[in-house]
Structure formats: structure tokens, C-alpha cells
């Protein structure tokens, strides 16, 4: 049975296809180089048909989350370049050496994107819209990958990427794998505990409540988001007094690169006003590498797996 794709994701694909048809077909000489426009028709689960580019051979993922998707769906030779941030915040941070030969997009500008001559560019809605529009006007297909805040949206995003990239079978295999892995997650004694995502890099602290990728990560790990339990929505700043009131069972913080060096953990452990908290006293500050802690792709499941394992270890045999 086909999975129901949320309306917001369908509208995103419709918009991208409309921009492509207008830019690529009405101005074939855009970007001062020949472009051969080959379209194919895809059918969404609801039955709607759309025209998107033929099987793209030069794909440019323009952010770390897009990199996570394309490296799981495409062979490396079809990826024309990688954003600089991918080497710290995407899955390739675990083993960057094989990817060093790829072109690097240092800045998100239309000039730098078009210099790599992509067939398809994958972005997200939080990236500069003026740049996206200039790239689309050149005749290049640009698709905004959705940021998932629930499990259905996460899987639907993978499936939409498969449609855009002409890799529906690979996307289906990936979603089946994700479903199977999700069923095996076990936080052990940490199951049901209230975990507070927390970031502080020397300025104001912040957390993540309802409607965020951090909440999805925590829920997939079998725990509850302490910020959401406290009625917090989005990614607001949070001071130490609020942290004391929330009084989570454990904290979840990010580490710089693939190290265990976490400025956020250091600040929590050094703050005198928090010393009386059970989570601090018992050492229940779970550190995740930034490529997991900050992911907005389907790697949220990998983040949840790691969080569940480290949280269980933090609780020991309780």
C-alpha cells in the first residue's frame, strides 16, 4: 500500500516542478550554457501527476541533510559537489576521506551553485530564497526537502526524494530499513525518561520543544522531550532558572565534530546553580556528535539509536 504523503510535501514538489517547467523550458540558454531538458512524469500516492527532470546525473545537495539523503540513494559519481558543512554535520563526517575528491560548495550563492553545473539542487526552506529563485530562473530544478517533525513526514521525505532523483526503488528499500530499525530501538532503563535537548556555546542557552527535530529524535529513542512536557514550543532561549524548573531526568547535548568535546556539557557541569540537579550529579548528560545531534534528515533515526544506547548506559542497571 502506498504511503500517504502529507499535503505540505506534495505542495513543495508541485511548486518545484512548476518553477522548473517555467525556467528550463522558457529559457533553455539560461546560465550561458546549453541545457538539454528531459522531463519524466511521476505519479504521487494521491494520483496527481507531475513532470520532473529525467534521471539526474549531476546532483548537488546544498545542505547537510540533503547530503544524508543523496549518499543513501545515489552512487557517488552522480553527486557533483558537497557543501562545506557536510564534513561536520552530515553522515560523511564519520568517514570523510572518500568524499574529499568531490567538489565543495563553500557558500550558498547562485554563482557557486551554478559553477558546478548541476541538473538538480536539493535545498531546505530555511535556505536563502533569493538564491533559490535565481538558480531556478537559470533552468535548474531545485527541490526543497522537507524538515520532518514526525515519523510519517520523515519517511515521506525519503520517498519524495526518491521520486525527484529517479530512485524510487532505492527509497523504498531505505524506508523499509528505517522501519525495521525503528522497531528495534530500546532505551532500557531510560525508556520514558524526560530528556532535555540543550545547547549553549558561551552565550544564551536554548532548548527545543514541540514541532522540532529534537523532539522527534527523543521520541524515537523511547523517551519524552522534557521541554515539550514543560509546554515549550520551537527553539526558544532558556536560562538556568528555567532549566532548574524543568528538572529533566537527563540532558542531550551536541559535541564538536566527532569528538566528545561538548561546550554545552561543560557549561552545564560547571554551573554552580545546577549542581543540585540529579541529572547533573549523576552524570546524565548524554553527548551526541553534531552530525547526529543537529541532523534534520532521516538520520534522526540513527541519532535516536545512539541516544537510546547512551541514555541506557547512563542509567546503568536501574
Sheet holding 194-197, edge to edge: 224-225, 194-197, 250-255, 285-289
Measure the CA angle with vertex 294, ends 101 and 110; round to 5°: 50
Stretch 222-240: mean pLDDT, rounded? Answer: 97
Question: Nearest Cα to 308, choosing from 185, 151, 149, 182?
Answer: 185
Percentage of residues in the chain with pLDDT exceeding 70?
86
Q: What pLDDT does residue 9 have?
A: 53
Kindly tell me if the per-residue pLDDT of 182 is higher than 50. Answer: yes
Q: What is the per-residue pLDDT across 282-295, written as a single tens digit (0 to 9) for each?
A: 999 999 999 999 99
3-class SS of residue 73: helix
Residue 122 has pLDDT above 90, yes or no: yes
Domain borders along the chain are 7-180, 187-315
CA dihedral for 153, 157, 158, 163, sign (positive or negative): positive
| Cα three-residue angle 185-188-190, rounded to 5 degrees | 105
| 145 vs 253: which has the higher pLDDT | 253
pLDDT at residue 42, rounded to an integer: 75
Query: Could you give the maximum distance between any two Cα atoms of the chain, in Å?
Result: 67
Predicted local confidence at residue 229, as pLDDT = 98
Q: What is the band of 45 on the pLDDT scale with cuts at 50, 70, 90?
A: low
Cα of 79 vs its chain's centroid, Å: 18
Average pLDDT over residues 218-234: 98
Same fold, 7-180 and 187-315: yes
Q: Which residue has the higher pLDDT, 189 or 261?
A: 189
CATH of segment(s) 7-180: 3.40.50.1980
Instruction: Give the global pTM.
Output: 0.86
**Is residue 2 very low, low, confident or very high in pLDDT (cuts 50, 70, 90)?**
very low
Q: Is the model's pLDDT at 167 over the cut of 70?
A: yes
CA–CA dist 286, 253 (Å, integer): 6
Where is pLDDT greater, at 245 or 32? 245
Q: What pLDDT is stored for residue 14 in this prediction?
A: 52
Fold that domain 187-315 belongs to in CATH? Rossmann fold (3.40.50)
**DSSP of 210-279:** BTSHHHHHHHHTT-EEHHHHTT-BSS-B--HHHHHHH--SEEEEEESTTSS--HHHHHHHH-GGGTT-HH
Res. 15 pLDDT band, cuts 50 70 90? low
Amino acid at each position: 500500500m502506498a504511503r500517504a504523503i502529507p499535503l505540505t510535501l506534495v505542495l513543495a514538489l508541485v511548486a518545484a516542478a512548476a518553477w522548473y517547467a517555467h525556467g528550463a523550458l522558457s529559457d533553455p540558454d539560461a546560465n550561458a550554457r546549453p541545457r538539454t531538458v528531459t522531463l519524466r512524469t511521476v505519479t504521487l500516492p494521491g494520483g496527481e501527476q507531475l513532470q520532473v527532470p529525467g534521471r539526474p546525473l549531476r546532483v548537488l545537495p546544498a545542505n547537510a541533510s540533503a547530503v544524508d539523503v543523496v549518499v543513501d540513494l545515489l552512487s557517488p559519481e552522480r553527486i557533483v559537489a558537497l557543501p562545506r558543512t557536510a564534513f561536520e554535520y552530515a553522515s560523511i563526517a564519520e568517514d570523510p576521506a572518500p568524499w574529499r575528491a568531490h567538489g565543495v560548495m563553500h557558500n550558498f550563492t547562485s554563482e557557486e551553485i551554478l559553477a558546478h553545473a548541476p541538473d538538480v539542487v536539493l535545498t531546505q526552506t530555511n535556505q536563502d530564497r533569493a538564491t533559490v529563485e535565481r538558480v531556478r530562473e537559470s533552468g535548474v530544478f531545485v527541490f526543497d526537502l522537507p524538515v520532518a517533525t514526525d515519523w510519517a513526514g520523515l519517511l515521506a521525505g525519503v520517498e519524495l526524494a526518491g521520486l525527484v532523483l529517479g530512485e524510487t526503488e532505492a527509497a523504498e528499500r531505505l524506508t523499509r530499513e528505517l522501519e525495521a530499525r525503528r522497531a528495534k530501538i530500546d532505551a532500557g532503563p531510560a525508556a520514558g525518561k524526560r530528556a532535555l535537548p540543550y545547547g549553549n556555546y558561551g552565550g544564551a542557552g536554548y532548548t527545543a520543544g514541540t514541532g522540532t527535530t529534537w523532539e522527534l529524535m527523543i521520541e524515537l529513542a523511547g523517551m519524552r522531550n522534557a521541554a515539550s512536557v514543560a509546554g515549550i514550543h520551537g527553539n526558544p532561549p532558556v536560562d538556568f532558572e528555567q532549566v532548574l524548573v524543568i528538572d529533566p531526568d537527563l540532558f542531550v547535548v551536541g559535541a564538536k565534530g566527532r569528538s566528545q568535546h561538548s561546550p554545552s556539557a561543560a557549561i552545564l557541569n560547571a554551573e554552580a546553580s545546577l549542581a543540585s540537579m540529579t541529572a547533573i550529579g549523576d552524570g546524565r548528560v548524554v553527548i551526541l556528535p553534531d552530525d547526529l545531534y543537529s541532523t534534520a534528515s532521516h538520520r534522526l533515526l540513527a541519532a535516536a539509536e545512539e541516544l537510546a544506547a547512551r541514555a541506557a548506559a547512563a542509567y546503568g542497571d536501574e
